[in-house]
Structure 1
Amino acid sequence: MDATTPLPLRGVRVLDAATLFAGPGAATLLGDFGADVIKIEHPTGDPARHHGVQVHGESLWWKLVGRNKRTVTLDLSRTEGQKICRALVRDADVLVENFRPGTFERWGLGYEQLARINPKLVMLRVSGFGRVGPMRHRAGFGTLAEAMSGFAHCTGTPDGPPTLPPFGLADGAAAVMSAYATMVALHARGTTGRGQVVDTALIEPILHLLGPQISAYQQLGVVQQRSGNRSVNNAPRNIYRCRDGRWLAVSTSAQSIAERVMRLVGSPHLIEEPWFASGSGRAEHVEELDAVVGGWIAARDADEVIAAFDKAEAAVAPVYSAADIVADPQFAALGTVVHVDDPELGPLAMQSVPARLSGTPGQVRWAGRPLGADNDEVLGELGIGAEQRTELRRKGVI
């Protein structure tokens, strides 16, 4: 891709007035494909700017979630800030917000109010628990969604406690779902000529990822329990340690793969067992299968195991850290890691756009920018002159 390659969402303007990760993450995905994303932050800054690992006082989380966005400061609780927001909405396609339900209405920025200004506006509203129901006014974060969705209940070892992920899984799932739903709303606008509200509750996208657990409970009264790295649907499926101390993941979701693994590890007789013919049957004999596969792997170094699995056309992969990812030739071939020339940190490595379009690919054009870096440019586009901007700064509006 070069500077002349068209970005598919060029001409789409997104106002990102959300904080932290789920709403802003959706805006980031739109920005990756060329949308003009204007990040609206309180003059004190998005909390994401102070989250996680920092280098020279700069949050690497912010550099990632703030990429491809122009950043302006605006106190939306102030009358002057609300007036500027309405001016921005006039030419916007999407507005993203994740304040507690009712907050934007209290500020005169609810959907019905903004739709009178711009009937084509798509408003993405992300909240912990949705905009209806008894919990709608509660503060919600990804951790709570990971707990309520059932994820924590079925994650961890059988004799251990429910386990939360060490990263923002619920936020990430909500970001992807929200970006998708926003694009659906923009597509529908081409037919109806009108925008609409996209309502994402953090507790729902991650629940969707968990598969048919609700159906299994309704039909069979079955509640999935914790099984560690094993699967309740097939076996062998686990993390196994090699002779050299490295860990490998093995999956046998397909029957043919399971049979190949048994032949590889020297136990073809197990294939003839009646229970081996289905994933559920193999899962019921997981101890026997894990002993065979785990024992074979434990007697060999990782490179030998990977080569043998590859020759047998069976499924195996190493357990990677970030250090392994940046050195891996497969990730290199995909272009998974890109280096962005950041004015504050220099060459900055981060994940690239998470999907490749053959004709109109996305692009990481810049990392998260300093607070209010684009105030003059964006407010100037609204006709707000230098003297007025100075006065707005003095009053704390920007």
Structure 2
Amino acid sequence: MSDPTAPAEGSAEVPAAEPGPLHGLLVVDASTILAGPLCAQLLGDYGADVIKIEHPVAGDGMRGHGHTKDGHSLWWKEISRNKRTVGLSLSVPRGAKIFRSLIARADVLVENFRPGTLERWGLGPEELHRVNPGLVIVRITGFGQTGPYAGRAGFGTLAEAMSGFAHLTGAGDGPPTLPAFGLADSLCGIAASSAAAMALFARERDPHRRGQVVDMSLLEPLMAAVGPSPTVYDQLGLVERRHGNRSTNNAPRNTYLTSDGHWVAVSTSAQVIAERVLRLVGHPEVIGEPWFASGGGRAAHADLLDGMVGEWIAARTRGKVIEEFTAAGAAVAPVYDARDIVEDEHIRETRMITEVADDDLGPLLMHNVMWRMSRSPGSIRFTGRPLGADTESVLVDELGLDPAEVARLREERTVA
């Protein structure tokens, strides 16, 4: 087996003299499914040493999500990259004791148990802060740690429904529409990584280097992404409705079918772009109309503008549409599927998708680190590993447990 701590071939490798910005920090990922694991993945991508805690028998449910190849979850390879994995039961006293020993060394804990679960196991924030006052505890739940819904089961689908996203998504005469992917979880995971970094920054400025608890719900990041609809309702009494791909803020804004059967998306958020589009499609006369001077005015004439733009695009191939829009300085993009993403020259050249080495599957493509940093870049050092692959090394080499004791704990299924 190759060295799991070495940067993966084809990743955004970190020069030896310039480790990631979180190098030297230890993150314990005790979360499951998507939001928490994504938060920990991002911290690991930028240098943190991440130890993934999984149930010794069941493991993280993410291992069963998505497509597999030769029995290996392809999503797991990405979401658990840069993480060492330890199989450990937290619900039994000996497992909880080992967990506390690990927490004593950690900087960040990411967890998403239902509120009260860690407390029931003697692992709540008060107990963990007695063990390690500087610990940052990122707690991810559906609805937060307090309030009437705190005890409810929380999944991304529920947040997508309650945030206003589903209400505003879909055709005006159709039902509310849920996303086909983990939107709420993904936004929450990204937001949680930012919150963890803020809490670490606050710890550095605290003379006592105290950690804190981050209470992160799946609901709030998506509510922010949906926009100011609560403010609009509060001030104007308006409840916005579904309107398909159109925008209430500008037009033309839609997807349009080309002559060779592809879809392209057009946006005209800026006034100058709207003017360029209408000149390009042969209708400069509408630019002088009073209503054309504002996004809201154009949105009120979306049928007219969509007809003009759609007719022009329908007479041309996707390649020709993109070529002419680009030459005119207008905003257009093809609607991509996964094959298009992988084959796109810009995505490949900028390494938004990168090839990494995997012990089980050989070279495979995955998303690169999410943002570029000039002095302390992130890296993909290794891909997701088998359940419990690092239990022995962490418990024996780092926590000082006797190998014979680890063997007994394995027989009891306290560790894996």
Say yes or no: TM over 0.5. yes
> How far is 1:110 from its partner?
0.4
1:334 to 2:341 alignment: no
Equivalent position SS for 2:231: helix
Write the mapping of 1:67-216 to structure 2, written as runs, cut at 5 A: 67-192=81-206, 193-216=209-232
Does structure 1 conserve the Cα–Cα contact (< 8 Å) formed by 2:14 and 2:376?
A: no
Encode CA deviations 1:330-371: one digit per residue, 9 max, x unaligned. 101211111111111111110001100011110111111000
Which whole-Å CA distance do the structure 2 matches of 1:91 and 1:21 have between them? 25
Indicate which of 14, 33, 57 corresponds to 2:27.
14
* Identity across the alignment (%): 58
| 1:393 aligned partner, one-letter code | R
- Higher relative contact order, structure no. (Cα contacts within 8 Å, ≥ 6 residues apart): 2
Which whole-Å CA distance do the structure 2 matches of 1:379 and 1:107 have between them? 20
1:393 to 2:410 alignment: yes
Which whole-Å CA distance do the structure 2 matches of 1:317 and 1:110 have between them? 48
Query: Which one is further off, 324-333 or 31-40?
Result: 324-333
Output the TM-score relative to the length of structure 2. 0.95
Q: Which residue of the partner structure matches residue 383 of structure 1?
A: 400
Equivalent position SS for 1:339: strand
1:271 to 2:287 alignment: yes
> How far is 1:3 from its partner?
4.6
Q: Which residue of the partner structure matches residue 269 of structure 2?
A: 253
Q: Which residue of the partner structure matches residue 10 of structure 2?
A: none
1:317 to 2:333 alignment: yes
Equivalent position SS for 2:219: coil
Q: Which residue of the partner structure matches residue 26 of structure 1?
A: 39
Which whole-Å CA distance do the structure 2 matches of 1:396 and 1:343 have between them? 26
CA RMSD of aligned residues (A): 0.8
> How far is 1:214 from its partner?
1.2
Encode CA deviations 1:272-296: one digit per residue, 9 max, x unaligned. 1110000000000000000000000
Which whole-Å CA distance do the structure 2 matches of 1:334 and 1:164 have between them? 31
1:231 to 2:247 alignment: yes
CA distance change for structure 1 residues 2 and 88 in 2, over 3 Å: closer, same or farther?
closer
Does structure 1 conserve the Cα–Cα contact (< 8 Å) formed by 2:14 and 2:378?
A: no
Which whole-Å CA distance do the structure 1 matches of 2:158 and 2:299 have between them? 31
Query: Which one is further off, 102-111 or 377-386?
Result: 377-386
| 1:383 aligned partner, one-letter code | G
**Aligned residue pairs: how many?**
398
Which whole-Å CA distance do the structure 2 matches of 1:142 and 1:113 have between them? 29
Does structure 1 conserve the Cα–Cα contact (< 8 Å) formed by 2:41 and 2:83?
A: yes
> How far is 1:2 from its partner?
4.8
Q: Which runs of 5 or more structure 1 residues have no equivalent in the other structure?
A: none
Which whole-Å CA distance do the structure 2 matches of 1:277 and 1:7 have between them? 47
Indicate which of 47, 52, 60 corresponds to 1:39.
52
Which whole-Å CA distance do the structure 1 matches of 2:185 and 2:104 have between them? 29
Moved over 2 A (4+): none
Which whole-Å CA distance do the structure 2 matches of 1:128 and 1:384 have between them? 36
Which whole-Å CA distance do the structure 1 matches of 2:286 and 2:390 have between them? 65
Encode CA deviations 1:171-211: one digit per residue, 9 max, x unaligned. 00100110001100000001221000001011111001111
Which whole-Å CA distance do the structure 1 matches of 2:114 and 2:234 have between them? 32
Does structure 2 conserve the Cα–Cα contact (< 8 Å) formed by 1:15 and 1:38?
A: yes
Equivalent position SS for 2:20: coil
Q: Which residue of the partner structure matches residue 348 of structure 1?
A: 364
Which whole-Å CA distance do the structure 1 matches of 2:385 and 2:364 have between them? 13
> How far is 1:213 from its partner?
1.1
Equivalent position SS for 1:249: strand
Indicate which of 371, 386, 389 corresponds to 1:370.
386
Which whole-Å CA distance do the structure 2 matches of 1:123 and 1:304 have between them? 52
Does structure 2 conserve the Cα–Cα contact (< 8 Å) formed by 1:247 and 1:302?
A: yes
Does structure 1 conserve the Cα–Cα contact (< 8 Å) formed by 2:184 and 2:219?
A: yes
Query: Which one is further off, 272-281 or 219-228?
Result: 219-228
Which whole-Å CA distance do the structure 2 matches of 1:32 and 1:178 have between them? 14
| 2:383 aligned partner, one-letter code | A
Does structure 2 conserve the Cα–Cα contact (< 8 Å) formed by 1:244 and 1:300?
A: yes
